[in-house]
């Protein structure tokens, strides 16, 4: 394996590790009062339902594209497409989950000041970006 491939793989692994570490930091922050957590729970349920519905529609189209790719460009291309689609979906699901759960933590942190709220919000937003490397 050339050094360029090693560097690319190492950067990807580091980004994933930092994304995991950052998500842990965000999700261990104070989630606020019971009322804030109640509202946050309702938002989480709605976001999960929305994402599940979207993914069902995308999966239907994705299966058709997978079959067309397999028949026209070969099995290796189709497998690459499938791996990319699954990992992209996982990154989106994890990113949405962290973002929605971070909302209440951002609101709670903002009660003590803008800097604290922005720190949580920035870290939460970075998670999705780090997972799509």
Dig out the tokens for 41 from the structure: 């729970």
HSE of 117 in the Cβ direction (CA atoms, 13 Å)?
Answer: 11
Burial of 102 per CB tally in 10 Å (0-12, 13-18, 19+): buried
What's the rounded Cα separation, in Å, for the pair 124 and 110? 14
pTM of the model: 0.80
Res. 133 pLDDT band, cuts 50 70 90: confident
The pLDDT of residue 35 is 92
Query: 93-108 pLDDT, tens per residue?
Result: 988 999 999 999 999 9
pLDDT average, residue stretch 113-127: 91
CB-count exposure of residue 42 (10 Å: 0-12, 13-18, 19+):
exposed
Q: Where are the domains of the chain?
A: 3-131
The per-residue pLDDT for 1 is 65
């Amino acid at each position: 394996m050339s050094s360029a491939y090693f560097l690319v793989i190492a950067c990807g692994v580091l980004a994933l590790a930092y994304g995991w570490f950052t998500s842990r930091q965000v999700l261990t922050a104070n989630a606020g009062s019971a009322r804030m957590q109640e509202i946050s729970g309702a938002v989480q349920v709605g976001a999960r339902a929305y994402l599940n519905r979207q993914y069902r529609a995308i999966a239907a189209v994705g299966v058709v594209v997978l079959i067309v790719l397999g028949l026209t460009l070969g099995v290796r291309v189709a497998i690459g497409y499938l791996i990319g689609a699954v990992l992209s979906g996982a990154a989106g699901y994890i990113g949405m989950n962290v973002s929605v759960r971070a909302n209440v933590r951002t609101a709670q942190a903002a009660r003590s000041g803008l800097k604290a709220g922005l720190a949580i919000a920035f870290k939460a937003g970075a998670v999705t970006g780090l997972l799509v490397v």
